[in-house]
Structure 1
Amino acid sequence: MQASVTFVGNATVLLRLGQFTLLTDPAYGPAGSRVHLGYGAWTKRVRDPALDVLTGVRLDAVILSHLHGDHFDSAARQRVEPSLPILTTPQAARKLRRKRFLAPHGLPPWECHEWTRDRQRLRVTAVPGRHGPGVVNSLLPDVMGSVIELEVDGRLATRLYITGDTLMDDMLGQIPRRFGEIDAMLIHLGGTRLAGLLLTMDGHQGTELTHLIRPTLTIPIHYDDYKVMKSPLTDFTTRAEHQGLTGITPIPRGGTIDIPLRPVVTGFSHPHNPAG
């Protein structure tokens, strides 16, 4: 059984989880293209996405952490099929329905969406995120993280946490308390700044969250594609190494890495209780 992550660029990754294929935060614009971040703010892309890895791929759904131009740009909106399910925040789902998209599903924190195929079940649970500091957060789009769980014959095969564009916050402590062990984490970094305000985790906050979640595998993404990103990947990797964090594994653009799978233990079923 396959469980893997392919890095396309920024927050766009292709997830192959058993019989299911998901895409996160599609942004297809080339280097030099500009995206709108709201309130008259724009930023320019400085690196090309590795779109060739998406050729011929059939998707089951898109997971959209929030509706910002660097997470769902105009190039992607033209290519994503209108009927493809999009799991996102309720706020973003309402806006997408007013566009050409037919199947957005708005998930408040701790609500989930499931697919079942043969002996496998894939569950995506929305978890909290906070995009901006203090009252600034209310001026920014709602964001969600996602916990994705693949089960085979009712037993957990792997659990993946995607942070979304969040800052470090006490509410994130609910994630390990509710879900337990995380096999892999896709962490959005970059230290994005607008008007001097930090809007995504930098190296310091990224290591704080990694200490909190303690995943087996930590995959940094969202760190060097746009000019507003001010914290290079080395801010995170160097700090993590000095603090003794293990399993930090960047993926080259267009590259693929396997997600850890749990051994199947006869007669044992892993609990799932996000509302607990």
Structure 2
Amino acid sequence: MTQRPESTTGTAAPEPGAREAGDPAAAPHPPLAAPRPLAERRVWPRTFHDRLTSPLPGLKALARFAREGAVRPTPDGLADIPRLPCAPGPLPRVDARTVAVTWVGHASWVLRIGGLTVLTDPVWSRRILGTPARITPVGVPWEALPRVDAVVISHNHYDHLDAPTLRRLPRDTPMFVPAGLAPWFHRRAFTRVTELDWWEAAELGGVRFDFVPAHHWSKRTLADTCRSLWGGWVLTGPDGRRVHFAGDTGYGHWFSRIGGRYPGIDLTLLPIGAYDPRWWLADVHCDPEEAVRAAQDLGARHMAPMHWGTFVLSAEPVLEPLTRVRAAWERTGLPRERLWDLPVGGSRILT
């Protein structure tokens, strides 16, 4: 994967004493940025193309993709749909000192930290634009959710930013979103929208929300390619425990950068699916082996796989991400109990 330097053009000023990211002489662990005000109005550059770590597909790649047409698994690859792990259950009982996660499916989690209930990339819809319907049910019924204290969004692709789901929320729900995405929420009458650039943070209820880089891109219409940013989130509770939500990403240098700047990540939620054909998707989607390597780069104590077993987005067999991530984890020699390969609807509490 081609690596490009992080750009600060048109965004927040570099942190004091820090060189531009990508500079070999850059400080390995710059100080964390002071939290920004919630819901502040900001001006962003017209495009974030300079943040791409790899060029978007050109005409040759598009022609090859159209020619080969390998966008769905074979019938044999779909035959395992009834065997996909799915165990919807009640949310665990928690208090303000508990960190717990429940996998709703795809990149949607119910994250309980510091007394807050946070949703990540919430998609409760049965179907999203351009994709067959869910192959597993939603892991947590909407009616079973406690009050949602905040939502974090990684980027604006339809399988991560779902308008019908967000319409179910009160319009004063705090939204933490990438730079350039607030207007989408303002058009839908959300009033507490906080946009952040990479390495920026905000705080809510004693929980720190840091927006961190990812190897991906953004697009929602024919005319808005890379007009908003993309990334992941590091949530730090009042007791210092940290959860990293990667959003959607390929493998690359940002994981070690994130691990250096946020040491002691207790849990990382990493995508392992939608990776085949590799020549087409490697730059923007981790395969299972790369996800395990990313967890090691982050220095995360636990890893929970996501972004598989919910929507059929690419050509790998539906159960293959799970079998491959388990094998890759075993090869590392790390304790098996630190791989939280949850079924849809499954929960774990961070002890």
TM-score for the superposition, normalised by structure 2: 0.63
Name the residue aligned to 1:95: 184
Deviation at 1:162, TM superposition (A): 0.9
| TM alignment of 1:126-141, pairs within 5 A | 126-131=211-216, 139=225
Query: In structure 1, what is the Cα distance between the partners aligned to 2:116 and 2:307?
Result: 23
User: Higher strand proportion, which one?
Assistant: 1
Question: 2:122 matched to 1:26?
Answer: yes
Name the residue aligned to 1:259: 350
| TM alignment of 1:13-52, pairs within 5 A | 13-30=109-126, 33=127, 35-36=128-129, 42-44=130-132, 45-52=134-141
Name the residue aligned to 2:329: 240
The answer (yes or no) to whether the contact 1:88–1:144 under 8 Å persists in 2 is: no
Query: In structure 2, what is the Cα distance between the partners aligned to 1:86 and 1:203?
Result: 30
Name the residue aligned to 1:125: 210
Name the residue aligned to 2:261: 178
Q: Which moved more, 1:9-18 or 1:93-102?
A: 93-102
Alignment root-mean-square deviation, CA: 2.2
Deviation at 1:43, TM superposition (A): 1.4
Query: In structure 1, what is the Cα distance between the partners aligned to 2:98 and 2:142?
Result: 17
Three-state SS of the structure 1 residue aligned to 2:265 is coil
The one of the two structures with greater contact order (alpha-carbon pairs below 8 A, sep at least 6) is: 2
The answer (yes or no) to whether the contact 2:215–2:254 under 8 Å persists in 1 is: no
Name the residue aligned to 1:8: 104
Name the residue aligned to 2:233: 146
Query: In structure 2, what is the Cα distance between the partners aligned to 1:99 and 1:13?
Result: 23
Query: In structure 2, what is the Cα distance between the partners aligned to 1:54 and 1:86?
Result: 20
Question: 2:169 matched to 1:84?
Answer: no
Name the residue aligned to 2:88: none
Change over 3 Å in CA distance of 1:192–1:225 after alignment to 2: farther
TM-score for the superposition, normalised by structure 1: 0.79
- AA paired with 2:327? T
Name the residue aligned to 1:218: 303
Change over 3 Å in CA distance of 1:243–1:76 after alignment to 2: same
- AA paired with 2:162? D
Q: 2:152 aligns with which of 41, 55, 63?
A: 63
The answer (yes or no) to whether the contact 2:120–2:151 under 8 Å persists in 1 is: yes
Three-state SS of the structure 2 residue aligned to 1:79 is coil
- AA paired with 1:232? P
Three-state SS of the structure 1 residue aligned to 2:237 is strand
Query: In structure 1, what is the Cα distance between the partners aligned to 2:145 and 2:259?
Result: 36
- AA paired with 1:103? R
Name the residue aligned to 2:195: 106
Tell which structure's C-alpha radius of gyration is larger. Answer: 2
How many residues matched? 239
The answer (yes or no) to whether the contact 1:112–1:125 under 8 Å persists in 2 is: yes
The answer (yes or no) to whether the contact 2:114–2:238 under 8 Å persists in 1 is: no
The answer (yes or no) to whether the contact 2:171–2:189 under 8 Å persists in 1 is: yes
Name the residue aligned to 1:271: none
- AA paired with 1:100? A
Name the residue aligned to 1:272: none
Query: In structure 1, what is the Cα distance between the partners aligned to 2:150 and 2:307?
Result: 20
- AA paired with 1:250? D
Q: 1:164 aligns with which of 236, 247, 252?
A: 247
Three-state SS of the structure 2 residue aligned to 1:16 is strand
Three-state SS of the structure 2 residue aligned to 1:167 is coil
Structure 1 gap segments, 5+ residues each: 37-41, 133-137, 261-276
Deviation at 1:192, TM superposition (A): 4.1
Percent of residue pairs identical: 26
- AA paired with 2:184? K
Deviation at 1:193, TM superposition (A): 5.3
Change over 3 Å in CA distance of 1:18–1:221 after alignment to 2: same
Deviation at 1:185, TM superposition (A): 0.7
The answer (yes or no) to whether the contact 1:183–1:215 under 8 Å persists in 2 is: yes
Structure 2 gap segments, 5+ residues each: 1-96, 218-223
